[in-house]
């Protein structure tokens, strides 16, 4: 049986071994798959997951005291997007806090400045 000349899909070097082999070594296979993944548009799930992770990190970083007030412009400048949250909680006054996992925020307008009140999830909020 005659073997066809095959080349690595990544580096184009000649491939030896099995007839269905596509790469010359594991590094080329990995590099090729990484290249293919980068060429594809980001999936919706990945966009949402990445934004939720960033939002949670920012809320955690800025909420060191349990309840903190931060200008919205500060969080937005770091990439915070209030449209991405995991759940909400309504307090007795009717305020609706949006949460990203255990970190919550409430939008407030104080003296013409938009701010977020940051809180952490508590057991009584169930």
Categorize the per-residue pLDDT at 15 as very low, low, confident or very high, splitting at 50, 70 and 90. Answer: very high
Categorize the per-residue pLDDT at 41 as very low, low, confident or very high, splitting at 50, 70 and 90. Answer: confident
Mean of the pLDDT values across residues 56-82? 96
Structure confidence at residue 1 (pLDDT): 47
Categorize the per-residue pLDDT at 39 as very low, low, confident or very high, splitting at 50, 70 and 90. Answer: confident
CA 79 to chain centre: 11
Measured at the CA of 76, the angle between CA 70 and CA 77, to 5 degrees, comes to 105
């Amino acid at each position: 049986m005659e073997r066809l000349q095959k080349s690595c899909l990544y580096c184009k070097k000649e491939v030896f071994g099995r007839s269905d082999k596509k790469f010359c070594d594991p590094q080329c296979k990995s590099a090729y798959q990484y290249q293919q993944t980068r060429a594809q548009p980001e999936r919706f799930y990945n966009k949402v997951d990445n934004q939720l992770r960033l939002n949670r990190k920012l809320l955690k970083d800025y909420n060191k005291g349990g309840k903190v007030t931060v200008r919205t412009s500060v969080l937005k400048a770091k990439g915070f997007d209030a449209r991405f949250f995991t759940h909400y909680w309504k307090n007795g006054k009717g305020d609706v806090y949006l949460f990203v996992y255990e970190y919550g925020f409430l939008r407030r307008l104080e003296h013409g400045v938009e701010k977020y009140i940051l809180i952490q999830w508590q057991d009584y909020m169930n």
